[in-house]
Chains A and B, each alone.
Chain A
Amino acid sequence: DGGITQSPKYLFRKEGQNVTLSCEQNLNHDAMYWYRQDPGQGLRLIYYSQIVNDFQKGDIAEGYSVSREKKESFPLTVTSAQKNPTAFYLCASILGGAGNQPQHFGDGTRLSIL
């Protein structure tokens, strides 16, 4: 079945450690997105990518990095510079183009600090 797969479901980070969250889609979607969700808040955009080898910062990009070497993959690295990384991270994708289409979401990764 086509969809978006995020892994792992749960992740723990130690102080000063970088961790990478995986997002893979087999929907042949062009654009991919990373969101962060904190309790009592909506989704906030971290990074997004419209095409391979190109990505843009969202509203809260500090302390995060991404790459888009393949169309189907958009990994997110939470660096040690992100001082409050505990949150629920959601990856999404969309077919692209100028048409109106809803985003498809993965099941999320819950990141906590040890």
Chain B
Amino acid sequence: EDKVVQSPLSLVVHEGDTVTLNCSYEVTNFRSLLWYKQEKKAPTFLFMLTSSGIEKKSGRLSSILDKKELFSILNITATQTGDSAIYLCAFLSNYGGATNKLIFGTGTLLAVQP
């Protein structure tokens, strides 16, 4: 059965700290791995990773995928209170051609204290 495991489940840090969020997966028909940030409503897209070893970066956030060891990490440097959210990892799987099915992990709840 396909699954995505995120760790830690929750994390409390102080502003300015650097955090690393982990995502490991066991999937069939892997197409790509996605990271989302969810505050109070809908998840917002952060990164899509398809190739191993290539870091994607957006401001203070970066992410990398290791397809051999089946995991991804999301790094946030110089954290701010606005980074407080649930961070969701998901993999995009291709079932029967055109279907794009997203399987989500449980998420990591990040709280950044002033």
How many angstroms from the CA of A42 to the CA of B106 in the assembled complex?
Answer: 4
* B42, A105: Cβ atoms closer than 8 Å: yes
Q: How far is the CB of B87 from chain A (nearest CB, A)?
A: 11
In the complex, the answer to whether B104 meets A90 with C-beta atoms within 8 Å is no
Q: With CB as the reference atom, state the residue of chain A lying closest to B44.
A: A105
Interface size on A, residues (CB 8 A): 28
With known contacts A102-B45, A108-B41, A44–B104 Cβ distance under 8 A:
yes
Partner of A107, one of B42, B90, B103: B42
Write out, one digit per residue, whether chain A residues 17-38 have a CB within 8 A of any chain B CB (1) or not (0). Answer: 0000000000000010101000
Q: Within 8 Å of chain B (Cβ to Cβ): is A113?
A: no
- Contact flag A102-B48 (CB < 8 Å), given A42-B88, A96-B100: yes
- Residues of chain B within 8 A (CB-CB) of A101 are 48, 100
Q: How many residues of B contact A (CB 8 A)?
A: 28
- B113: CB under 8 A from chain A? no
Interface residues of A (CB under 8 A from B): 31, 33, 35, 40-45, 48, 50, 56, 58, 90, 92, 94, 96-98, 100-108
The reply to whether the CB of B4 lies closer than 8 angstroms to some CB of chain A is yes
CB distance from A52 to the nearest CB of B (A): 14
A43 in contact with B100 (CB, 8 Å)? no
Given contacts A42-B4, A105-B43, contact A98 B94 (CB under 8 A): yes
Question: In the complex, what residues of B have CB within 8 A of residue A98's CB?
Answer: 94, 97-98
B98 contacts A50, CB within 8 Å? yes
Asked if residues B42 and A108 are in contact (CB atoms below 8 Å), the reply is: yes
CB<8 Å pairs between A and B, sample of 15: A31-B98, A31-B100, A33-B102, A42-B88, A43-B43, A43-B88, A43-B102, A43-B104, A90-B42, A92-B102, A96-B100, A98-B97, A103-B102, A105-B43, A106-B42
